[in-house]
Amino acid sequence: MSFVPPISDFPILSRQVNGKRLAYLDSAASAQKPKVVLDAMSTFAATSYANVHRGVHTLAAESTDAYEKARAAVAKFLNAKHTDEIIFTRGGTEALNLVAYSFLSPRISAGDEIVLTKMEHHSNIVPWHFMRERKGAKLHWVDVREDGSINAAAFGAAITPKTKLVAVTHMSNVLGTVNPIKDIVAIAHAKGVPVVVDGCQGAVHEIVDVQDLDVDFYAITGHKLYGPNAIGALYGKRTLLKSMRPFNGGGEMIAEVTEDYVSYAEPPARFEAGTPPILEAVGLSAALDYLTGLGRTAIREHEHAIYTYAREAVRQFNWLRVIGDAEGKGAILSFEAEGMHAHDLATILDHEGVAVRAGHHCAQVLMERFGLGSTTRASFGLYSTREDVDLLIAGLEKARKILT
């Protein structure tokens, strides 16, 4: 394979942890940042920074220009039809909450239903629980099969005339399952139901075309895309965004404010109250350029090769059970190890320089579905190598010796 993981682009990967070479296998929680992202942010702060959309001075103009270019970069990355269909948020969580508050809340009443899956993580569950608590909505859960996949046809059965929204993740942060979004959207739209997709993992590992998928909303977060944290974005179809009430109130989202009257700006400004994450937008834009420059398909193939190498390597352990083996899944390896709790494993692996996530991964409904208290998760990114996997395997063997 021609793709060589550009490890030297990531300054943090050269550090040691507990005296060992760092094997960072927690990219699904947050990815490390390449130097081009860090440099873009620091150069921008040092040369062009000011508040955006206010003031007529040169720095204000340069900042506004950079911020809006970042919006265009996200639109291009997701293949949105219009740049104004991209709203910057503080992350994927805020993007999903925006849909709940501005889109769904005025359209849902007691007894109405929201369809979601048991593999969602909490940011695509709790906003819908708010609708249950506050509006009397019912949550309808689509089950996950034993291999971690879901059946698109199950959405057909789950959607009723009462359904107001389908909320589904593009890719599970625990199972790695990549869901058949296009099929799910077609089924939902045939019944007149809009679909919001949690793309926090999906946008990292899949090549997303929101027009082809025909999703109504798609949420992403910057820090998993090798960009900075505290920025995310929501894609929403223009007609839907225009029909939605504001989210937060404050500066920049208004058209006119008087003592007894307020009118609102058009999207996307309507949903971006206050000073937005300007430096972070510059960093995210640099991250997207970086990913595009490396080649999205090449990255995807590389990650898949590393995942497959790891998946094959753990077959030697008859005490290890992989959770999530769906066809076409992404580069996430979650597992349960007999006689070893995830936290003990993660502590021992950390001592070997191997960073993994242990716990419920903010997906307690899924944990319950599989009868698990917690799992250990190794997640791979564009900088992952076979050597990282070898360190994981050696660490697992060591943990087995210590703990059992």
CB of 343 to another protein, least distance (A): 4
Least distance CB 142 / another protein (angstroms) = 22
DSSP SS3 for 38 = helix
- List the 332-337 sheet strands across, edge first: 320-323, 332-337, 375-379, 357-359
Residue 362 designated active-site: yes
Six token digits for residue 280: 């972070």
Q: Which is nearer to another protein, 150 or 362 (CB)?
A: 362
From candidates 82, 191, 343, 386, binder to another protein by CB under 8 A: 343
Within residues 344-373, the interface with another protein by CB under 8 A covers 344, 347-348, 351, 358-360, 364, 367, 373
- Across the chain, which distance is largest between two alpha carbons, in Å? 71
Comparison of 102 and 376: residue with beta carbon closer to another protein: 376
**Shortest separation between residue 397's beta carbon and another protein, angstroms:** 13
Q: Could you check whether the bond before residue 268 is cis, i.e. omega within 30 degrees of 0? A: yes
Contact (Cβ atoms closer than 8 angstroms) between residue 128 and residue 168: no
Min CB(174)–another protein separation in Å: 12
Buried b (16+ CB within 10 A) or exposed e, 37-74: bbebbeebeeebbebbbeeeeeebebbbebbeebbebb
Which is nearer to another protein, 65 or 338 (by Cβ)? 338
CB atoms within 10 A of CB 287: 25
Out of 21, 341, 390, 394, which residue is the one contacting another protein (CB under 8 A)?
341
> Minimum distance from CB of 359 to another protein (Å)?
4
Q: Hey, how many other C-beta atoms are within 10 angstroms of the C-beta on 298?
A: 14
**Of 127-135, 188-196, 230-238, 335-343: span binding another protein (CB under 8 A):** 335-343
Chain position carrying tokens 């089950």: 143
- Active-site option among 362, 363, 365, 382: 362
Give which of 202, 201, 175 is closest to 324, Cα–Cα: 175
Bridge-based pairing of strands 113-117 and 163-169 is parallel
From the list 378, 204, 379, 199, the residue with the least C-alpha distance to 290 is 204
CB closer to another protein out of 211 and 404: 404
Residue 189 or 369: which CB sits closer to another protein?
Answer: 369
Q: Provide, rounded to whole angstroms, the least separation between the CB of residue 125 and another protein.
A: 15
List the end-to-end C-alpha distance of the chain, in Å, as a whole number. Answer: 39
| CB closer to another protein out of 168 and 356 | 356
Distance CA 313, CA 225 (A): 27
Residue 22 lies near another protein (rule: CB under 8 A):
no
> Is residue 400 within the footprint of another protein (CB under 8 A)?
no
Kindly state whether residue 403 participates in binding another protein, applying the rule CB under 8 A: yes
Task: Yes or no: say if 296 and 81 are a contact pair by the CB < 8 Å rule.
Answer: no
With CB under 8 A as the contact rule, which of the stretches 101-109, 189-197, 245-253, 340-348 interacts with another protein? 340-348
**What is the set of active-site residues?**
362
Residues of the shown chain interacting with another protein in the complex, contacts defined by CB under 8 A: 18, 341-344, 347-348, 351, 358-360, 364, 367, 373-374, 398, 402-403
